[in-house]
Amino acid sequence: MYPRAFHYHRAGSLKEAVTMLSQLGEEGKLLAGGQSLIPLMKLRFANPKHLVDLNFVPGISYIKEDKGSLRFGALTRHAEVEYSATAAKIPIIHDCAAGIADVQVRNRGTIGGSIAEADPSGDWATVLSTLDTTIRCLGRKGERTIPLSKFITDAYTTALGPEEIVSEIIVKNPPKGSGGAYLAFKRSAPVYPTASAAVQLRMEGDVCEDAAIALGCVGLTAIKASQAESALRGQKISETTMNAAAEAARAAADPQPDMRGSAEYKRMLVGALVKRAIELAIRRARGEQVEVSHLYA
Amino acid sequence: MQKNVTIDINGQPHRQAVEPRLLLVHFLREVAGLTGTHIGCETSLCGACTVLLDGRAVKSCTVLAVQADGRSVTTVEGLAQGDKLHALQEGFWEEHGLQCGFCTPGMLMCSHDLLANHPTPTSADIREAINGNVCRCTGYQNIVNAVKNASRKMAKRVSARAGAR
Ligand SMILES: Cc1cc2nc3c(=O)[nH]c(=O)nc-3n(C[C@H](O)[C@H](O)[C@H](O)COP(=O)(O)OP(=O)(O)OC[C@H]3O[C@@H](n4cnc5c(N)ncnc54)[C@H](O)[C@@H]3O)c2cc1C
Ligand code: FES
Ligand code: FES
């Protein structure tokens, strides 16, 4: 299976990549880890005439701690995040990186490519929308930063201009007393999840001071379940409040039936995932070390 | 349109002008003539085409040959040293870790990535590490045993070497 023929350009820097993209116009496309783009090109769903390869740009693959934030270079591979002690300081980020596909895909796929692809089932967008995340972009007119909530505008659609690229992803460290967890339900490793839930809480004793809940694979983008968040915020966490949050999450989901399951099935699933993720998030907020791994059918 | 690339495969440089759309797996099989790397699904789902790129397992059907330019690739042919099989190959032999053998090169290379990071994996670690590789024959149990066998052997050799020093 061959992609349609194309011209290949190797960028030496992010700036050069922007220049190349502006010269190539509509016909140019960036290549990062290639784990979404190359399969699409082989199936001829994507047929770019020119590829601009970022893989030879030095210094754009890193995880840095900086002024209360974590900064991820656009080309940081999922596996680098998985093995990073720095990234593990925000456990939900480790959950995400370690659960994407299989080791081969994690060794190639990048956080920048994943955010830019804006796949409705992509794990990064779901997880990072429960944290204070901004996307740094570089274009012909210079740099700008866009909050993640404004960056992904629709399925496979972002706020990026045609010659603009993602340079960095910045995640603020959650405040003290926080804990989070990400759970995805999958049929097998090398496929996208059937449904997923990311929960990030700030606890004070038994009371939930703040909550962020995002649902993956059950809408055109990750869905922020604000009613589910309100069901927890300011409340003492009990079976009743958790069930209320799960119920609100089911209502917020907008799933499509497909080969992975009916809409009703996915709705039930997402509610159950939210409840389990809340339980795990609370344990982590208390300082417990909890390993989380995705659930397989 | 063509681009010159030099890829180090199992310690040997291979230089060739290629079309940018040539996949790494085709470079390995058709340009370098190394047919140990198999093509299963061609859609990034089966792991049969797994090789090491700069030491890390990747699906060579989902990497362009031009992206491996100047880098090093290890294929199943690069595991044995002359007649001496790699500990992983011995493990698969001794534990009957294969039947038809179609998935085996990918299983070996993926297990290699695991043992490099995790010299003494549990069964759960091994299952997690090969969860992108499909085997239609063995039912996986003997593959898990084979990787364990290899990890024990490799640990013994490391401690023997340390003792000899
Ligand atoms: C078998 C398989 C299973 C998978 N399962 C999952 C899964 O369970 N969960 C999951 O989240 N993902 C999954 N993926 C996708 C994987 O995570 C991809 O790596 C990721 O979605 C895209 O990242 P990439 O670096 O490979 O990007 P590429 O494929 O190189 O690019 C994707 C798109 O983003 C653009 N792009 C790339 N980098 C930038 C940038 N810096 N700025 C602007 N635009 C850019 C490209 O032009 C392209 O349009 C799977 C992939 C495979 C092959
Ligand atoms: S042939 Fe590459 S993953 Fe199946
Ligand atoms: S041994 Fe036949 S596919 Fe694995």
Q: Which residues of B touch A43 (CB under 8 A)?
A: 43
Rounded Cα–Cα distance for residues B159 and B165 (Å): 10
Rg (CA), chain A: 19
* A15 within some domain: yes
CATH code (residue B55): 3.10.20.30
- Give the number of whichever ligand sits closest to the CA of residue B60: 2
A99-148 pLDDT per residue, tens: 999 999 999 999 999 999 999 999 999 999 999 999 999 999 999 999 99
Domain interval for residue B43 = 3-78
Give the mean pLDDT of B90-108: 98
Q: Do B45 and B95 lie in a common domain?
A: no
Candidates A110, A18, A17, A8; CA nearest to A62 is: A110
pLDDT score of A215? 98
Q: Do A145 and A222 lie in a common domain?
A: no
- Asked whether A125 and A100 are in contact (CB, 8 A), the reply is no
Q: Do B94 and B129 lie in a common domain?
A: yes
Q: Do A85 and A146 lie in a common domain?
A: yes
Q: Do B118 and B59 lie in a common domain?
A: no
Q: Do B92 and B155 lie in a common domain?
A: yes
* A288 within some domain: yes
pLDDT score of A293? 80
pLDDT score of A294? 82
Residues near B20 by beta carbon (within 8 Å), at least 6 away in sequence: A5, A6, A7, A8, A51, B1, B3, B64, B66
**What is the tally of structural domains in chain A?**
3
* A226 within some domain: yes
pLDDT score of A1? 80
Considering B55, B78, B101, which residue would you say is the last residue of a domain? B78
How big is the CA angle at A215 (ends A213 and A216), to the nearest 5 degrees?
A: 145
Q: Do B67 and A53 touch (CB under 8 A)?
A: yes
Q: How many CB atoms lie within 10 A of CB B158?
A: 11
Q: Which residues of chain A have pLDDT under 70?
A: none
Provide the ipTM.
0.96
Q: Which of B1, B22, B64 sits opposite A7 (nearest CB)?
A: B1
* A58 within some domain: no
Q: How far is A147 from chain B (nearest CA, A)?
A: 31
- The one-letter code for the residue type at A196 is S
Rounded Cα–Cα distance for residues A185 and A243 (Å): 19
Q: Do B44 and A103 touch (CB under 8 A)?
A: no
- By three-state DSSP, how is residue B125 classified? helix
pLDDT score of A99? 95
Q: Do B73 and B102 lie in a common domain?
A: no
**What is the tally of structural domains in chain B?**
2
Q: Do B67 and B132 lie in a common domain?
A: no
- Give the number of whichever ligand sits closest to the CA of residue B23: 2
Domain interval for residue A183 = 178-296
Q: Do B95 and B135 lie in a common domain?
A: yes
Among the listed ranges A185-199, A267-281, B61-75, B150-164, which one has the minimum average pLDDT value? B150-164
Q: Do B93 and B74 lie in a common domain?
A: no
Taking CA atoms, A231 is separated from A205, A213, B96, in Å, by 17, 11, 55
User: Pairing between strand A28-31 and A50-53?
Assistant: parallel
CATH code (residue B157): 1.10.150.120
Q: Do A267 and A287 lie in a common domain?
A: yes
Give bridge partners of residue A172 from the DSSP assignment.
A69
Residue B165 has pLDDT above 80, yes or no: no
